[in-house]
Amino acid sequence: MTLKHLVAAATVAFGLHTAPTLAQDAAIDAMQEYMMFSEYEAGIILPQQLDQTVFEAALFVDTRDAGQFEEGTIPGAVNIEWREVLDRIDQIPEDRMTILFCNTGSLSAQAAFALRVAGRSNVVVLQSGFTGWQQDAAYRP
């Protein structure tokens, strides 16, 4: 093997070794930028704010698993489990409010955070989740 081949192999090996680090740094930078410039209550909606107008305009995404979704959900909601939101981002519209929910809001908050870092500013979390909607929603069809 010539010196030229050794240098090329070392360059490729170094590039493969540093690529995950660079990707991780970019992800951390994106999250930090989002967190530094978001308003305190950005990205949430309360059940009391879900009047008929909001309900009819928004897409509801149930981020719970399929079994929980089948047991009961907000009418018209689609089921995209919280871990799958980035894999299925093409199913989440960019042109209308999208309200993510789970039972209480914790898993859907993780999904919404990922989507917002990915650039979806129209995504909000239903604070207190499906449970809160059942108890306190301003509108229930």
Region 111-117: mean pLDDT is 93
Dump pLDDT digits (tens) for 44-59.
999 999 999 999 999 9
| Structural tokens at position 57 | 């305009």
Give residue 26's pLDDT: 64
- At 58, give phi and psi (nearest 5°): -95, 155
Residue 85, judged by CB atoms within 10 A of its CB (0-12, 13-18, 19+), counts as: buried
pLDDT single digits (tens) 60-100: 999 999 999 999 999 999 999 999 999 999 999 999 999 99
Tally Cβ neighbours within 10 Å of residue 24.
10
Q: Look at residue 79 and give its three-state secondary structure.
A: strand
Quote the pLDDT of residue 33.
57
CATH 3.40.250.10 fits 44-136, yes or no: yes
Q: How far is CA 6 from CA 9, 116, 119, in A?
A: 5, 44, 41
Collapsed DSSP state (helix, strand, coil) of residue 17: helix
CA distance 109 to 82: 9
Percentage of residues of the chain with pLDDT beyond 90: 66
